[in-house]
């Protein structure tokens, strides 16, 4: 019953519609086949084009987006059972929290669902703007330009009626690609957001210990349950890392290069319409990256906060066995479980800032060289 979990419901529903999750039908093969064919025509175009720098940058941006789309679809299919199991674990933990009938935890779940729904709709809105930008860019040009640079060997794609047919194909495939690409990002961010709520629920449970009248045996059992729940959080985050760490690394490298190239492209565009469209491309990249890095950073901070919550239990007043258990929990929480980039570095806002700084540095170098 994912309908109650608005955090991920919309994303799972879209991916299921295209048969990338749960279902297996002809739509899966249609969307994958069309996407792969489209990527191949884009690669052929990039290898044979004699366009200027703006055309190369713009079409490189499109090619990276489509390769990323196919890669995400492949990862969903390759590790489908792992994704389904992760969704099932999230669902079970969600209803377990709901059954606690705790006002604070109920508030956390309601806030999480609201934020997740808003994020999913916002990402789809940015995707819609980008799709519109793909369609408007050729219309604002003085010569025939396709939404995506692509070429079929032996066919003049700018001649009538091939140009009209290819233009319609591009505009039909764009929403499909958008619905394959964006829900995956929103789903991954949804997984991270639920991890944040799990950490906050554990902190709440720990802080309540000093207000509950428990005998030493009950207290020891409660602490052990908290430690087990903490390990569940760690395992949950490790599962997310196993499924996403390398795709996040690829996106980090690709989007950093694309952001630099698009800023460089703004130096060459000569109309306000083109500036608006390129700005929409940049905003889409930033919106996708910022949402991921913001919540991944928050997850790390909330994991660190578990150590503080455990310390605030006034553990030094408990008996020796309970004190040792809490000390072990504090020590483990001080090495916070985090979403990793290529299993190398935690994803944080500091990393996002470094990406922007590096991108701008390369942009200024390119600008100076060009000047």
Predicted confidence (pLDDT) per residue in 123-144, tens digit: 888 778 777 877 777 777 777 8
Whether the Cβ atoms of residue 155 and residue 146 lie closer than 8 Å to each other: no
User: Alpha-carbon distance 311 to 100, whole Å?
Assistant: 24
Q: In this model, does residue 224 exceed pLDDT 70?
A: yes
- The average pLDDT across 224-252 equals 93
Q: Which one-letter DSSP state was computed for residue 25?
A: S
Q: Which helix (H) or strand (E) holds 124?
A: helix 103-139
User: What does the pLDDT read at residue 174?
Assistant: 86
280 has a pLDDT exceeding 80: no
Per the prediction, the chain carries an average pLDDT of 87
| pLDDT per residue as tens digits for the range 184-198 | 999 999 999 999 999
Give the pair of three-digit tokens for residue 71: 């890669």
- The rounded percent of the chain whose pLDDT value lies above 70 is 98
Gap between the Cα atoms of 304 and 338, Å rounded: 10
Per-residue pLDDT at 124:
85
Q: What are phi and psi of 51, to 5 degrees?
A: -65, 165
Q: Does the pLDDT value for residue 333 go beyond 70?
A: yes
Please report, in angstroms and rounded to a whole number, the separation of the first and last CA atoms in the chain: 59
pLDDT of residue 319 exceeding 70:
yes
What per-residue confidence (pLDDT) applies to 164? Answer: 87
pLDDT at residue number 352: 92
Is the pLDDT at 314 greater than 80? The verdict is no
> Length of the chain in residues, anyone?
371
Q: How many CB atoms lie within 10 A of CB 80?
A: 14
Helix (H, G, I), strand (E, B) or coil at 23: coil
Question: Lowest-pLDDT range, 244-248, 293-297, 327-331?
Answer: 327-331
pLDDT digits (tens, 9 = 90+) for 25-71: 888 888 899 999 999 999 998 888 887 787 788 888 888 889 999 99
Task: Report d(CA 238, CA 240) in Å as an integer.
Answer: 5
Whether residue 161 is preceded by a cis peptide bond, meaning omega within 30 degrees of 0, is yes
pLDDT at 20 over 80: yes
Q: What is the mean pLDDT of residues 62-91?
A: 91
The CA distance from 353 to 350, in Å, is 5
Q: Tell me what pLDDT residue 203 has.
A: 94
Residues 93-110 have a mean pLDDT of 92
Residue 217 DSSP symbol: H
Q: What is the mean pLDDT of residues 320-333?
A: 84
Q: How confident is the model at residue 248 (pLDDT cuts 50, 70, 90)?
A: very high
Q: What's the confidence (pLDDT) of residue 217? A: 75
Longest Cα separation, the chain: 85
Spell out where the chain has E strands.
Answer: 340-341, 345-346
Residue 284 has pLDDT above 80, yes or no: no
Q: Which residues, including other chains, have CB under 8 Å from residue 209's CB and lie 6 or more apart?
A: 219, 222, 223, 313
Per-residue confidence (pLDDT) for residue 214, from 0 to 100: 66
Report the pLDDT value the prediction gives residue 106, as an integer from 0 to 100: 93
Nearest to 199 by CA among 89, 347, 303: 303
- Mean local confidence (pLDDT), 205-230: 81
How many whole angstroms separate alpha carbon 264 and alpha carbon 278?
A: 11
Quote the pTM value.
0.90
User: At 371, is the pLDDT very low, low, confident or very high (cuts 50, 70, 90)?
Assistant: low
Q: What is the pLDDT of residue 321?
A: 78
């Amino acid at each position: 019953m994912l309908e109650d979990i608005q955090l991920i419901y919309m994303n799972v529903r879209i991916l299921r519609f295209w048969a990338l999750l749960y279902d297996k039908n002809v739509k899966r093969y249609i969307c994958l086949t069309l996407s792969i064919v489209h990527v191949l025509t884009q690669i052929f175009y990039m290898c044979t084009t004699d366009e200027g720098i703006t055309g190369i940058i713009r079409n490189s941006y499109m090619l990276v987006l489509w390769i990323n789309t196919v890669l995400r679809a492949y990862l969903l299919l390759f590790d489908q059972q792992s994704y389904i199991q992760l969704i099932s674990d999230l669902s079970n933990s969600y209803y377990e929290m709901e059954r606690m009938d705790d006002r604070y935890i109920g508030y956390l779940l309601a806030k999480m669902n609201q934020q997740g729904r808003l994020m999913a709709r916002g990402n789809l809105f940015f995707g819609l703007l980008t799709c519109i930008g793909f369609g408007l860019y050729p219309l604002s040009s003085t010569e025939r330009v396709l939404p995506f640079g692509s070429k079929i060997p032996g066919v003049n794609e700018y001649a009538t009626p091939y140009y009209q047919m290819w233009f319609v194909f591009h505009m039909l495939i764009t929403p499909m690609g958008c619905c394959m690409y964006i829900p995956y990002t929103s789903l991954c961010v949804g997984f991270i957001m639920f991890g944040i709520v799990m950490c906050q629920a554990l902190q709440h449970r720990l802080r309540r210990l000093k207000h509950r009248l428990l005998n030493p045996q009950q207290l020891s059992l409660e602490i052990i349950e908290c430690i087990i729940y903490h390990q569940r959080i760690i395992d949950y985050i490790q599962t997310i890392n196993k499924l996403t760490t390398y795709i996040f690394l690829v996106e980090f490298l690709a989007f950093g290069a694309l952001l630099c190239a698009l800023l460089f492209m703004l130096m060459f565009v000569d109309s306000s319409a083109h500036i608006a469209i390129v700005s929409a491309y940049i905003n889409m990249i930033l919106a996708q990256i910022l949402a991921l890095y913001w919540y991944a950073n928050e997850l790390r901070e909330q994991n660190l906060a578990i150590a503080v919550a455990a310390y605030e239990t006034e553990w030094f007043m408990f008996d020796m066995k309970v004190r040792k258990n809490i000390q072990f929990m504090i020590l483990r929480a001080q090495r916070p479980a985090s979403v990793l980039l290529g299993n190398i570095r935690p994803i944080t806002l500091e990393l996002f800032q470094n990406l922007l700084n590096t991108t701008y540095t390369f942009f200024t170098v390119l600008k100076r060289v060009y000047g």
